[in-house]
């Protein structure tokens, strides 16, 4: 058997194994977020999308005008009424962007073909996980085609068989590979100088998951630096058209304002690092140590609770740190764009740095918020000697974050068991991982500052 044929056989085996595992785990119960996704999916599929966020535009405008003064100011500052609905005994409302609702509505329609009553069963779990499975397939294909020969195969394999990705989807039921496929497509489009396509994909990614905003600094810097004004207009038009298409189901029925409000709802969280293992997770642990005594179990802390203890609001220093990291990241990127080889490396690396800077410094970070870095890291293989280390480090941190938050999901792992594992190290292991995240981000920026193109 020739070397080429051996690689083909290995690739087919890995494809089959990864696909088999994903299909086997498709009906798992995931995290509590899976329940929320099923509730949204059932509501969208059975009742429709139009009023899933809130009241019609006419009602929202009347309420804004009744306050007196500027209608626009009232719209921007007044909390919108939210549609609340009950599904299998629990009440829900939607606080995620419209792109995710389009995907979940399709999942509900798919499940309705099997059981029109949409009962809360394993088959519904499977329907919810179909779109992330398709997203994973798209990512694997894009990575395979991102480089010729063995390099492309290794990149695809580094994603397809990555334990962190398998844990995220389908075991825990996260939808991040949908957003990840769009983000990866945007980065590849930037590498090819297809600015309009990249902008459209970034907008689509942001309307599926708020973390799409992490692609924006790199996108804007590259388009402004490399493109001409005509390219800027074309890119802006492509982004605007993408947004219009996503909002059509609401705009066409008079519910655009409530749908727009849905985009800003994730920004209103009041918890400090809700299972995002970062500097604020450490800060919350320090607070509990001082208040409750040595070696406490790390927990989710509310921003108000921390502010009352510390005497200052953590959101301001969080924003300052994040802005400083963005500035440093863009400085590193813009210095390399004139070199074709470094440009090929630094576009994906810039987004990876942005993802981890956000996940380290921002408040209200969740355990799955570094998955985009895991999706993009394989693009560094074959062109940078640190590429393998970045893949391993970002994947290990992501896996640890997911596992320490949810184990293997509901009806498989008890959270009490995970908590017992965490405190077995005396210093809560999640805090150790958070400290490791500080070290990881420092190494990523240091490696980026000193990097040179070269094979693994």
What pLDDT, on the 0 to 100 scale, is given for residue 453? 57
pLDDT 10s per residue in the chain (456 long)?
666 667 777 778 888 999 999 999 999 999 999 999 999 999 999 999 999 999 999 999 988 888 877 888 888 888 889 999 999 999 999 999 999 999 999 999 999 999 999 999 999 999 999 999 999 999 999 999 999 988 999 999 999 999 999 999 999 999 999 999 999 999 999 999 999 999 999 999 999 999 999 999 999 999 999 999 999 999 999 999 999 999 999 999 999 999 999 998 888 788 988 889 999 999 999 999 999 999 999 999 999 999 999 999 999 999 999 999 999 999 999 999 988 889 999 999 999 999 999 999 999 899 999 999 999 999 999 999 999 999 999 999 999 999 999 999 999 999 999 999 999 999 999 999 999 999 999 999 999 999 865 544
Concatenate the DSSP letters of all residues of 393-418 into one string: HHHHHHHHHHHHHHTT-TTTS-HHHH
CB 176 within 8 A of CB 132: yes
What pLDDT, on the 0 to 100 scale, is given for residue 74? 80
For residue 87, the Cα-to-chain-centroid distance in whole angstroms is 26
What pLDDT, on the 0 to 100 scale, is given for residue 455? 47
What pLDDT, on the 0 to 100 scale, is given for residue 73? 85
What pLDDT, on the 0 to 100 scale, is given for residue 195? 98
Please name the residue that has the structure tokens 């207009």: 233
* Number of helices followed by number of strands (H, E) in the chain: 22, 4
How is residue 91 annotated by DSSP?
E
Checking DSSP bridges between strand 271-272 and strand 301-302, what pairing results, if any?
A: antiparallel
- 3-state helix/strand/coil string of 323-377: HHHHHHHHHHHHCCCCCHHHHHHHHHHHHHHHHHHHHHHCCCCCCCCCHHHHHHH
* Spatial separation of the C-alpha atoms in residues 320 and 361, rounded to whole Å: 9
What pLDDT, on the 0 to 100 scale, is given for residue 306? 97
CA distances from 311 to 171, 280, 303 (A): 41, 15, 11
Determine the 3-state secondary structure of 209 from DSSP: coil
Tally of CB atoms within 10 A around 36: 18
What pLDDT, on the 0 to 100 scale, is given for residue 233? 97
What pLDDT, on the 0 to 100 scale, is given for residue 75? 84
> CB burial class (10 A; 0-12, 13-18, 19+) of residue 415?
exposed
What pLDDT, on the 0 to 100 scale, is given for residue 163? 98
Q: Which residues contact 447 (CB under 8 A, 6 or more apart)?
A: 386, 389, 390
How is residue 69 annotated by DSSP?
S
Concatenate the DSSP letters of all residues of 271-333 into one string: EESSS--SHHHHHHHHHHHHHH-SSPPP--EEHHHHHHHHSS-THHHHHHHHHHHHHHHHHHH
What pLDDT, on the 0 to 100 scale, is given for residue 452? 65
User: Two tokens at 384?
Assistant: 């940078």
pTM (predicted TM-score) = 0.95
What pLDDT, on the 0 to 100 scale, is given for residue 391? 98
């Amino acid at each position: 058997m020739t070397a080429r044929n051996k690689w083909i056989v290995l690739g087919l085996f890995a494809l089959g194994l990864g696909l088999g595992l994903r299909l086997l785990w498709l009906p798992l119960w995931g995290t509590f977020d899976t329940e929320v996704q099923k509730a949204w999916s059932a509501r969208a599929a059975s009742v429709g999308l139009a009023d899933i966020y809130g009241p019609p535009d006419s009602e929202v405008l009347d309420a804004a005008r009744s306050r007196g003064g500027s209608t626009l100011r009232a719209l921007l500052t007044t909390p919108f009424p939210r549609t609340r609905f009950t599904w299998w005994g629990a009440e829900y409302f939607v606080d995620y962007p419209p792109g995710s609702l389009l995907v979940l509505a399709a999942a509900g329609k798919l499940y309705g073909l099997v059981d029109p009553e949409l009962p809360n069963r394993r088959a519904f779990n499977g329907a919810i996980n179909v779109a992330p499975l398709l997203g994973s397939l798209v990512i694997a294909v894009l990575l395979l085609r991102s480089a010729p020969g063995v390099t492309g195969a290794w990149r695809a394999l580094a994603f397809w068989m990555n334990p962190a990705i398998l844990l995220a989807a389908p075991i825990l039921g996260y939808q991040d590979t949908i957003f990840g496929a769009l983000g990866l497509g945007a980065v590849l489009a930037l590498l090819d100088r297809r600015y309009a396509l990249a902008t459209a994909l970034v907008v689509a990614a942001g309307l599926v998951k708020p973390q799409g905003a992490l692609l924006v600094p790199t996108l804007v810097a590259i388009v402004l630096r490399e493109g001409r004004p005509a390219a800027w207009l074309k890119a802006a038009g492509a982004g605007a058209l993408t947004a219009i298409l996503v909002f059509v189901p609401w705009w066409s029925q008079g519910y655009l304002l409530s749908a727009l409000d849905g985009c800003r709802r994730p920004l209103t969280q009041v918890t400090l690092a809700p299972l995002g293992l970062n500097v604020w997770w450490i800060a919350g642990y320090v607070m509990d140590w001082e208040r409750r005594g040595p070696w406490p179990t790390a927990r989710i802390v509310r921003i108000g609770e921390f502010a009352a203890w510390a005497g200052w609001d953590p959101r301001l220093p969080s924003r300052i740190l994040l802005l400083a990291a963005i500035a440093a990241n863009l400085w590193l990127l813009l210095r390399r764009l004139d070199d074709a080889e470094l440009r090929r490396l630094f576009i994906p690396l810039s987004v990876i740095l942005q993802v981890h800077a956000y996940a380290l410094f921002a408040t209200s970070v969740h355990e799955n918020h570094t998955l985009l870095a895991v999706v993009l890291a394989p693009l560094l293989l074959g062109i940078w000697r640190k590429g393998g280390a970045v893949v391993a480090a970002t994947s290990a941190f992501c896996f640890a974050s997911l596992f320490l938050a949810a184990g293997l999901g509901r009806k498989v792992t008890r959270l009490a068991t995970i908590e017992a594992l965490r405190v077995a190290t005396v210093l809560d292991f999640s805090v150790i991982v958070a400290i490791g995240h500080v070290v990881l981000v420092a190494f990523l920026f240091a490696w980026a500052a000193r990097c040179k193109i070269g094979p693994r």
